[in-house]
Structure 1
């Protein structure tokens, strides 16, 4: 259906009227849902995400992203068909969660560091949940199971890397960014040279750079908060009119013949809209259901991320020519890959004695779903994860660079 179709206009108008009618019919439910969404945004999302977006903007301005780009070029381009600067997006996306990767990809596209196809590849596999959410909120907070946290984290991030390897073949005939110029300098010195040139090209004083970084971060977070509140209200209204129960029943009838446990129908419908509600509903299925099925569904829901996150990403990407359709297809593939990987790796991961008795110092939600640690705890642990990921990528890139020997023509 074309976006210029009059039928689409009619559908959107009727949907808006139906939503307003539901708001008027259930004012108390709408108010409570809005307050709940606002509380989650203010106490969890805002303090956890603001420092990363601000620091990312500053790192771009002073040229650190270009330093990382040169350093990771030997790894990122052969594996994922994106320039080395994609390694910075991968690091921040994996460590700080959705939708930070979309924001950074958009900034790189605006700077001309990425082509449209490279931006679509990059945002498709770097938009993931952060370890604090996957392990702390989902596995420990909802399931009260540290061992499950390792399973969810392993399947979530490994399937994201596999997705990146698959998406390297996305839009193979579209233009790519120019590879870095090679010279006689060692790779670290070339990285420092690129960082210095990028800072000179930017030219903004540090005070102005920091001010604009804060403004950009606040604008992005206000948009994210709006989507969280809107989807919180919409989901609660669907619950009030029993629409989710109807969709769950239809899904159960459809998936039943394929051997899918019907107990997960409600969790899947909830996870279709919002990842936290879907993960929480998965943890409430009866104990009679096999744990491997529960882990697979939870991993799929976390990888799908929910329409709330997709709306945030679509809004951010709309500032550029990066298309949303490849990203949505990637989220579906990520969910399937994560669930499939859970079934394959369940026994090897759960039977490994290394998991037992392990303590994971991550933030935990309380009964209301709000983080009980301070923003500094969240920021420090996410920074630790980012440092670890970047160190591994840099070591792998240097190893590839040292082991690769170009063939000389005689």
Structure 2
């Protein structure tokens, strides 16, 4: 009872301080809000919407169940999740956060995975997409496409490591499941696809409309979190809380051998990846290795902004947030360690271009792909607002029709 009262007092006080701070700093709050809004409607909305819609359709048509049956012999013994986890994993790496949480919640709601399996699955299907790593971070902030190779490898090795660790999670809580290897069967997969499709009695038109509505609803929620955490991050700086915490962070960074000048960037990165990565790239009095380690931690930890989005997506289910939070800390640590270990073999040899190397052509192709991703990221910021406005217009029409069906049908 006392713990609950303390929690109530802390939450009420925090919201009150935030409201008063927004009144004291109206212009700064507005600027931070606009920055978050620009990020959402230029990048997040247009990049995630297609993946969300296609994912909803694949689940409705039974394709995900089909893939799940085929991948069961791989995902079950390695990560102790059903085969459908392979689809969620692939989509999360392609589209980025928080798509893994959205798909995991959807599968849990349809009872395709158990509670423990969902908590395992969401822990290693939360990753940044390559476009963000190369386009925004490596090229956009550091102007260094080669760094994107290191960050991406460290990030994805980290997420695999988290999956292997979390396979042991919940062993005492779940009922024993037969992990015996079974050969994938096309016939069984096609049968599962057909049964799933028949079970969903919605016509194709309604299924498509529901997919659009559900996807845009989720993205509107994500936009709200991005904006509010952008404002919170700014207010913490204006109130001096960031500077106060920087002293402790400087001591912590000094203990682990990292440059203390990165303390302010570290605090910002705990709240929001983009801002933290940008601030880390602007610290001049440090070396690139320390910056790469810090940014790798940001990408793995995901920031409180994305974690709040995931918590909101998991809230309608019985999937607990705590395992996800622990896995984010693990991912940040693993990714930072991989960045340190891979610095010499994967980065230093390829920036010394004065000596020939047989590996250079391969690295050049990877760098060229990273540059293309940066160009795509730039074009997305230009076309993103138009895509967002058009999609919201379609959303209003579909929502109006759905409301009419509910009233008169």
Q: Judge same fold: TM > 0.5, yes or no.
A: yes
Matches within 5 A, 1:250-329: 250-286=248-284, 288-329=285-326
Matches within 5 A, 1:92-103: 92-103=91-102
Find the residue that maps to 1:144 and give its secondary structure.
coil
Q: Which residue of 1 aligns with 2:402?
A: none
Matches within 5 A, 1:222-233: 222-233=220-231
Distance change (3 Å), C-alpha of 1:47 and 1:117: same
Aligned residues of 1:120 and 1:327 also touching (Cα < 8 A): yes
**CA distance in 2 between partners of 1:3 and 1:128 (Å):** 38
**CA distance in 1 between partners of 2:375 and 2:238 (Å):** 29
Matches within 5 A, 1:388-403: none
Q: Is the counterpart of residue 343 in structure 1 residue 352 in structure 2? A: no
Q: Is the counterpart of residue 359 in structure 1 residue 368 in structure 2? A: yes
Residue 177 of structure 1, CA deviation = 9.0
**CA distance in 2 between partners of 1:30 and 1:219 (Å):** 25
Residue 291 of structure 1, CA deviation = 2.1
- Higher alpha-carbon deviation: 308-317 or 232-241: 232-241
Q: Which residue of 2 aligns with 1:84?
A: 83
**CA distance in 1 between partners of 2:252 and 2:219 (Å):** 38
TM-score (norm 2): 0.86
Q: Deviation per CA, 1:52-111, whole angstroms, max 9, x where unpaired?
A: 111111110000000110111111001100000001100111110000000000000001
Distance change (3 Å), C-alpha of 1:186 and 1:326: closer
TM-score (norm 1): 0.86
**CA distance in 1 between partners of 2:65 and 2:103 (Å):** 13
Root mean square deviation of aligned Cα: 2.4
| Unmatched tracts of structure 2, length 5 or more | 350-358, 388-409
Matches within 5 A, 1:100-139: 100-139=99-138
Number of aligned residue pairs: give it: 372
Q: Is the counterpart of residue 170 in structure 1 residue 149 in structure 2? A: no
Aligned residues of 1:70 and 1:180 also touching (Cα < 8 A): no
**CA distance in 2 between partners of 1:218 and 1:182 (Å):** 39
Aligned residues of 1:37 and 1:229 also touching (Cα < 8 A): yes
Residue 346 of structure 1, CA deviation = 1.2
Aligned to 1:211, which of 204, 209, 214? Answer: 209
Structure number with the higher helix fraction is 2
**CA distance in 2 between partners of 1:96 and 1:87 (Å):** 14
Aligned residues of 1:63 and 1:198 also touching (Cα < 8 A): yes
**CA distance in 2 between partners of 1:257 and 1:166 (Å):** 26
Residue 371 of structure 1, CA deviation = 4.1
- Higher alpha-carbon deviation: 82-91 or 168-177: 168-177
**CA distance in 2 between partners of 1:294 and 1:181 (Å):** 45
**CA distance in 1 between partners of 2:85 and 2:37 (Å):** 32
Aligned residues of 1:283 and 1:294 also touching (Cα < 8 A): yes
**CA distance in 2 between partners of 1:249 and 1:87 (Å):** 43
